[in-house]
Amino acid sequence: MVKTSDSVEPSSVDTARIQLPYWLAGLLRHRLSVIGGSFILFVAFLAVFAPLLTGFEPTEVDPPNRFLRPSFEHLLGTDYLGRDQFTRLIYGARISMVVGIFSVVIASFIGVPLGLTAAHFGGWTDSAIMRFIDAKLSIPGLILAMMLLLMLGGGVLTVSIALGINLSSAQARLIRSQALSVKEREYFHAARAMGTSNWRLILLHMMPNSIQPVIVQASLGVGFAILGEASLSFLGLGVTPPTPTWGNMLSLAFQYMRSAPYLLFAPGVAILLLVMSFSFVGDGLRDVLDPRLKGKI
Amino acid sequence: MTTQTNTENDAAASADSASTILEVKNLSTQFRTRAGLVKAVDDVSFSVKEREVLAIVGESGCGKSVTALSVMGLIPTPPGEIVGGEIMFGGKDLLQASDDEMQEIRGGQMGMIFQEPMTSLNPVMTIGKQVAEPLRIHLGLSKAAARVRAGELLSLVGLPDPLEKLDDYPHQMSGGQRQRVMIAMAMSCEPKLLIADEATTALDVTVQAQVLELLIRVAEEFGTALIIITHNLGIVARYAHRVNVMYAGKIRESGTAADVYKNPGHPYTAGLLSSVPSLMQSTSGKLQSIEGEIPDLTDLPSGCAFGPRCPYVQDRCRLEDPPLENVGDDHISACWESAQFRGTT
Amino acid sequence: MSMTTSTRSVLDIRDLQVHFPVNRGVLFIKNKGAVKAVDGVNLSIAPGETVGLVGESGSGKTTVGRAIIGLVKPTGGVIEFEGNNVLEMNSAALRQFRRQVGVVFQDPYGSLNPRMTAERIISEPLVAHHLFNSKQERRARVQELLEIVGLNAGMASRYPHEFSGGQRQRIGIARAIASDPTLIILDEPVSALDVSIQAQIINLLDELQDRLQIAYLFIAHDLSVVRHASDRVAVMYLGKLMEVAPRDAVYDNPLHPYTKALLSAVPVPDPEIEKKRERTILTGDIPSPTNPPSGCVFRTRCPIADEACAESIPELREVTPGQHVACLKV
C-alpha cells in the first residue's frame, strides 16, 4: 500500500467529501478567485478559438469602412484602417496572455535559483547575488525593459524576457526570505546532519517548502506583465505592429481619441479586467496556500 | 536566596470554611471547525473558595485552557461558543453579563496571566504605561498616581530597580521579568481571582520556581484565590490545595491534591502519575506509560473517552459515560470501575 | 544500560569551544567580542551508554549537540569519534561519521519535512549514504524501521500532518536509526510531547538502546526524565560544565551549588514529599552569554560565592570517584 505518485501536495484529510486537491477546494470557496479564474478561462478560450469566432483577419485592412461605430457586423467597430476591433481584441488576447505567462515563467526560472542559491550558501555568495539584485532594482523597471528592447528588438519573446528579468528580482527576494526560514527548521538541520548533498538539500527540502509565496507572487506578476506589455506597446516598444496586442490597440486608440473615443473602451476594459482577475486569483492562492490557514478555510 | 519549607498547604484547612467566590455549573463550550464540532469543555462544574489554590491539570486538548477562557469571557466567537451552564462570580452569572460588565470584571476583580509574556505585553509601550493602564481604567487613578502605584507594584513583584524599569520596553527584559510584570498588572486592582494559564511553562526551571513562589506569596498577601492551569504534575503537588483532572473536555477526577495523588480515583490520573519518572530515586526499565493516543475531539469514542486507553476497561465503559461520584471525602471521580481499580493499586 | 568506563569511548570531547562572534556596525564592521556558547567542555560517551546533558536556556547544551553533528563549527577543541578527530576528517571519513551518528530533534512538527511522505523521510539517510541499491530493498527497510518504532508499515505513504505528535517523533527516531548508528544525539526528544506520550517515547528509546547497542547523548531540561534515561549526567551553565557524575551521585548527592539549586527548583509530583522538601530558590536571572560574569560563571546567583570566585575560573576536578565538580568551595 505504497503511494507511487510524486505529487508534492498532501491530499486533503477530509475524506468525507470528493477528493479535490486542498488548494483547489480552497480556491473554489474563495468567491473572487472563482470570478477571476472564470474570466481568465473565458479570455483564454477567446484567444485559442479566435479564428473560429470571427470572420475577419486581425490585419485585414478595409479603408472604406474605417471608424465604424459598433454594429452587428463589427461588434466593437473598426479602427483607422478599417480593421475589425473585436477580431483584433481576441487575437490580441493571445499576445497578452502569452506575454503575461511567459514573463512570469522566465522570472521564476531566473529568480528562484538565484534566491535559493543565495539563501543556501549565505556569506559572500548571498551578498553578491543580493547586491546585484538591489542594483537592478534601483533602475526603474520600464526603463530597464526599454533598454533591453532597444538592444534586442521587439517581439513576443523579447518582451517576455524584458518583463521577466524585471519581475525576477521580486521572485528572488521572496524565495530567499522564505528559504532562510526553512534553513532554520529542524528537518533541514536533520537532513544536513545526515550528510545530504547541497543539491538534494535545496531541491528536496528548501524549494518545496518555500515555493508557495512565489506561486502567489507569480499569479499577481501575470497582471503586472500584461500591464507592462501594454505600456511598452503604448510607447511603441512592444510587439511590432501590425500584430495586434491590447497595448498597441490602446496606443492607437489614443491617437484618435477625439474622433473615435469608443476605440479606447474595449482594450482598456479588457486589460483592467484581466489584471484584476489575476490579482483575485493571486489573493485566493495566498489565502489557500498559507499553511497557517490550512484546514481552517 | 531564600530557604524555606512548605507552608502553603496548611492554608487548605482554613480555606474549607471560607466562602465560595467562583462557581461554575455545567459549563459547555464548543468550537465549530472544518473538521467538525469540538466539544472543548463538556458539562464541567467546579467551584473556587476564597484564598484557595485550585489546579486544573491535563494534557493538550483536555479543555483546561478553554475552561479558563470561558470563565474570563475570552472565548473567540465564532468559532467558539459557550452553549450552556452558569458561571457565578460575585453573585452574578457571568454568562448573562454584558460586554461592558465583563470588561469591568476582567482586570478588575478577575485577572489572568498567560504562557507567553512576550506576546501578552505590547512591544511598543513602556512597562510603566502598561502597568498603569488597568489602574487608570478600573481604579480611576490620575496619570501621576497610577505611575507611582505602578512603581510600587513592580517592586512588590521583586523587579530590581523598579522605578527605572517603568520606562523600559518589554524586549529589554528577560522572560522571567516579563512574567513578573504580568503578575504586577494582574494584581494591580487586587482581584478576588487570578487565573494563571501555563504561566511558567516557557520559563527555565530555576526562574519558574521564583515566579511561582512570587505568585503564591502575592496571592496570599492580597487574599486572592488562584486557578493554576498546568500540565506539570509537580507544580500541582507543590502549590495546589485542590486539583481537577481533565481529559477530553471533562473533569474526570477532583479532590484535594493530597488525596488525589495518594489515592487516585481514576485510572487516567494514576496513569499520568506513573508516566512521570521519579526525580527522587533512580528507576530503570519501562515506565508505566498510558498506551495509545489522546483522542481526536471531533471523533470521541463512545462511553468513557478514556476507555480505549484504559487498562481496566469493561463493556459498560464503552457504552455509557460514567458520572462523577464520591470516592472519598471531598473526592469525586468519573469511573465505572473505580472500586476494582482502586482495590488493585 | 551499564557503566562501561573501562572500554574505549565512542565519543570523546575535549576542551570544546563554540564562540559566536558579535559584529556591530554597517560599513566598518567591528568585532565586539564573542558569545561563548560553549566554553571548554570535556565529555566522553562509552559504547551503549546514555549521558544526560542538562541545563537551562543559554547553558549551551544544545550547541554541544549541534557541534557534534556539524551544524555549528567549533572554534576550538577536539571532537573524537572512535579515536578520530571529527574536526580534521576528510570528506570520505566525514561521510562515514555521519552515517554512524544519528540525531532526533525536539519539535515533532518542525523536524519532518511537511512535503515528504514518512517513507521518503525515513529513507533519506539510506539514500544519502547509498545503503541500499534497489528501491525495493529500501522500501523493505523502511517498513521494517516503521515496525521497530511501533508504527504500522501501512503508514509509509502518509504525510507528517496526518500523524500525531508522538507518532511523528517515532518517525524521527526511525530516521535516526535507519543507517545503523552507534551514537544518537537526542536533542530534547520528549519535551514537546504530552506526559502520557513522553513515557511511550522514553520506553521506545530505552528498548532500541538495548536492542541495537546505541550510545545516547540525551540533551534535556527535564531533570526527572534525564534521571530515568541516563547512566551519567552532565550539568551545564552558561557554556561550562558544572558537574559530571553517575546519575545517582548527581541526584542523591549533588556537590555543585548550581546542581543543588536546580534539583530543588523542580517540583515533585507528590504533595507529601513537597511538604517536607527544603527549597533553594535562586535569585536573579541567568546572565546573558554575551557578557558572562568573571571567574565562576555561576557566582552571581550562587548562595556560597565569595570574592575568590570572581577571580579564578574553577576547573572541573574529580571530588569523589567518578564525580567531577567545577567549584572552588567544594
Query: Helices A31-48 & A262-289, crossing angle to 10 degrees?
Result: 130
CB spacing of B277 vs C225 below 8 angstroms: yes
Half-sphere exposure of C283 (CA within 13 A, CB side): 12
For A101-153, the pLDDT digits (tens) are 899 999 999 999 999 999 999 888 898 999 888 887 777 777 878 888 888 77
Q: Which of C178, C193, C168 is nearest to C122 (CA)?
A: C178
Domains (range + CATH), chain B: 11-109+195-278 (3.40.50.300), 117-188 (no CATH)
Q: Is C274 on the interface with B (CB under 8 A)?
A: yes
| Structure ipTM | 0.84
How many domains does the structure of chain A reveal?
A: 1
Instruction: Kindly report the nearest CA distance between residue A239 and chain C, in angstroms.
Output: 41
Alpha carbon B20 to its chain's center? 17
> Model confidence at C2, in pLDDT bands (50, 70, 90)?
very low
pLDDT tens, residue by residue, A43-71? 888 888 877 777 777 777 777 777 777 77
Instruction: Round the average pLDDT of chain A to a whole number and report it.
Output: 79
Instruction: Specify the number of domains making up chain C.
Output: 1
Give me the domain span that covers residue A288.
Answer: 42-51+85-293
The whole-angstrom separation of Cα B322 and Cα B333 is: 9
In order, the DSSP letters of C275-311 are HH--EEEPPSPPPPTTSPPSSSTTTTT-TT--HHHHH
Say if A73 falls within a structural domain: no
Q: Is the peptide bond before A70 cis (omega within 30 degrees of 0)?
A: no
Nearest to C217 by CA among C267, C182, C249: C182
* Residue-level pLDDT at B15: 45
Q: How many CA atoms lie within 13 A of C112 on its CB side?
A: 31
Q: What is the pLDDT of residue C65?
A: 94
The answer to the question of residue C330 being in a domain is no
Q: Which residues contact A127 (CB under 8 A, 6 or more apart)?
A: none
Residue A4 lies inside a defined structural domain of this protein: no
The model's pLDDT over A244-295, given as tens digits with 9 standing for 90+, comes to: 888 778 777 777 777 777 778 888 888 888 888 888 888 887 777 654 444 4
pLDDT of residue B14: 45
Check residue C97 and give its pLDDT. Answer: 93
Asked if C113 and A186 come within 8 Å (Cβ–Cβ), the reply is: no
Question: Is C203 in contact with B238 (Cβ distance < 8 A)?
Answer: no
Q: Does residue C162 carry a pLDDT above 60? A: yes
| Bridge partners, residue B37, by sequence | B32
The pLDDT value given to residue C138: 92
Please tell me the predicted confidence (pLDDT) of residue B264: 92
Kindly determine whether residue B35 and residue A14, on different chains, have CB atoms separated by under 8 Å. yes
Residue type for C1, please?
M
Q: Please tell me the distance from the alpha carbon of residue A244 to that of residue A85, in angstroms, as a whole number.
A: 10
Ramachandran class of A186: left when φ > 0, alpha when ψ lies in -120 to 50, beta otherwise: alpha
> What CATH code is carried by the domain that includes residue C112?
3.40.50.300
pLDDT band (50, 70, 90) for residue B3: very low
Closest CA to B242 of B42, B5, B29, B22: B22
- Bridge-partner residues for C244, per DSSP? C234, C324
Give the SS3 label for residue C52.
strand
Interface of B with C in 223-282 (CB under 8 A): 231-239, 257-258, 261-262, 271-273, 275-280, 282
Q: Which of A8-22, B114-128, C99-113 has the lowest mean pLDDT?
A: A8-22
Q: How many C-beta atoms lie closer than 10 Å to residue B223's C-beta? A: 12
Q: Residues C37-77: pLDDT tens digits?
A: 999 999 999 999 999 999 988 899 999 999 999 999 999 99
Tell me which chains share at least 3 CB pairs under 8 Å with chain B. Answer: A, C
Q: What is the DSSP string of C187-219?
A: ESSSTTS-HHHHHHHHHHHHHHHHHH--EEEEE
Assess if residue A101 is contained within a domain.
yes
Asked whether B205 and C262 are in contact (CB, 8 A), the reply is yes
Burial track B119-137 (b if 16+ CB lie within 10 A, e otherwise)? ebbeeeebbbbbbbbbbbb
B115 close contact with C: CB closer than 8 A: no
Residues on chain A touching B34 (C-beta within 8 angstroms): 14, 295-297
Q: Which residues are paired to C320 by β-bridges?
A: C323
Q: Is there a domain that residue A227 lies in?
A: yes
Q: Which domain, by its residues, includes C183?
A: 11-325
Within a domain: A137:
yes
Name the residue among A2, A194, A204 with its Cβ closest to that of C125. Answer: A194
**pLDDT band at residue A162 using 50, 70 and 90 as cut-offs:** confident
Question: Looking at residue A208, what is its pLDDT?
Answer: 86
Mean pLDDT across chain C, nearest whole number?
90
Range A73-87 average pLDDT = 75
Residue C92 confidence (pLDDT) above 60 = yes
Q: Tell me how many residue pairs between chain A and chain B have CB atoms under 8 A apart.
A: 9
Least reliable range by pLDDT among B209-223, B282-296, C158-172, C292-306: B282-296
Write the CATH number for A206: 1.10.3720.10
3-state helix, strand, coil in chain A (%, to 5): 70, 0, 30
**Residue A6 falls inside a structural domain:** no
pLDDT at position C226, please? 95
Give tens-digit pLDDT for A174-224: 999 999 999 888 889 888 888 888 888 898 889 888 888 888 888 888 888
Residue B129 or A76, more confident: B129
Nearest residue on chain C to B262, judged by CA atoms? C270
User: Region C238-254: what's the mean pLDDT?
Assistant: 94
What is the model's pTM? 0.81
Please say if the pLDDT value at position B188 is more than 90.
no
Cβ A174 vs Cβ A116: under 8 Å: no
Mean pLDDT for C300-307 is 90
Within-domain flag for C59: yes
Mean pLDDT of chain B: 86
Assigned domain for A23 exists: no
